[in-house]
Structure 1
């Protein structure tokens, strides 16, 4: 990929590509049955997305992810975050 492509993404989102790649790497190797690991990822996503979430919502997301394990649906998590923050 071209550096200019990444720069455009960084400018539009306000998120550095380093953060995106770090998160992608963490997700790729994550054990989604490990509640502590899932909680760290949820917090990281919330921070990167600049969408603070309540402890209650964090717990709901973590529970949902842990129950579904490797059938993780990131769209469903994003939807949960958007619904609770509206």
Structure 2
């Protein structure tokens, strides 16, 4: 992809592309049946999104992902973090 696109993305979101790629790798290789890994991913998403997630909301998100099994519905997580 075009470096200009990445720079524009970084300016608009305030998130460095390295962080986005690291998060994508973590999600790609994660074991979504492992509560520990799911919790780490939720915390990474929160950090990258610059959104505080209360312990209660983190627990809700983690349990929702664990319940749904191997699939990860990012739009569902996004709605929960709003």
What is the TM-score of this pair, normalised by structure 2?
Answer: 0.97
What is the CA–CA distance in structure 2 between the aligned matches of 1:8 and 1:70, rounded to whole Å? 33
The DSSP-based 3-state class of the residue aligned with 1:5 is helix
- Gap runs ≥5 in structure 2: none
Tell me how large the CA RMSD over aligned residues is: 0.6
1:10 aligns with 2:10: yes
Aligned ranges for residues 14-33 of structure 1 at < 5 Å? 14-33=14-33
- Gap runs ≥5 in structure 1: none
1:73 aligns with 2:70: no
What is the TM-score of this pair, normalised by structure 1?
Answer: 0.93
> Match for residue 50 of structure 1?
50
What is the CA–CA distance in structure 1 between the aligned matches of 2:71 and 2:38, rounded to whole Å? 13
